[in-house]
Structure 1
Amino acid sequence: MHNNIKNIIFDYGNVIFDIDFSKAQKAFQDLGVPDAAIFFGHKAQNEIFDRFDKGELSAQEWRNEIRELIGDSVSLSDQQIDDAWNALLLGVPSGNHELLLKIKERYNTFLLSNNNEIHYQWIMDYLKRDFQLNDNSSFFNKDYYSHLMGMRKPNTDIFEFVLDTHQLIPEETLFIDDSPQHLETARKLGLQTYLMTKPDNLQNYFKSNNLLK
Structure 2
Amino acid sequence: MIKTIIFDFGNVFINLDIEGATQQALKTFEIESFSEEMIAFNSFYEQGLISTDEFLEFYTENFPKLSNDELIDVWNFILKDFPEHRLDFLKQLKSDSNYKLILLSNTNSLHINWIKKQIPIYEEFKSCFDAFYLSHEIQLRKPNQDIFEFVLSDNKLNAEECLFIDDNTDNINTAKSLGLKTWNITPETEDVSNMFKIKSNLF
Please confirm whether the aligned pair reaches a TM-score higher than 0.5, indicating the same fold.
yes
- Given candidates 179, 195, 212, the residue that maps to 2:168 is 179
Identity score, percent: 34
Retained in 1: the 8 A contact 2:21–2:74? yes
In structure 1, what is the equivalent of residue 191 of structure 2?
201
Deviation per residue, 1:62-99 (Å, 9 max, x gap): 1222234xx432x3111100101111100212300010
CA distance in 2, matches of 1:20, 1:39: 21
CA distance in 1, matches of 2:35, 2:183: 27
Retained in 1: the 8 A contact 2:166–2:183? yes
Structure 2: gaps spanning 5 or more residues: none
Whether 1:114 and 2:106 are equivalent positions in the alignment is yes
Retained in 1: the 8 A contact 2:87–2:125? no
Letter in 2 for 1:141: D
In structure 1, what is the equivalent of residue 79 of structure 2?
89
Retained in 1: the 8 A contact 2:60–2:68? no
Structure 1 residue 165: Cα displacement: 0.8
TM-score normalised according to structure 2 size: 0.89
Structure 1: gaps spanning 5 or more residues: none
In structure 2, what is the equivalent of residue 51 of structure 1?
44
CA distance in 1, matches of 2:142, 2:198: 27
In structure 2, what is the equivalent of residue 22 of structure 1?
19
Letter in 1 for 2:101: T
CA distance in 1, matches of 2:196, 2:40: 35
Retained in 2: the 8 A contact 1:114–1:153? yes
Letter in 1 for 2:118: Y
TM-score normalised according to structure 1 size: 0.85
- Given candidates 174, 191, 208, the residue that maps to 2:180 is 191
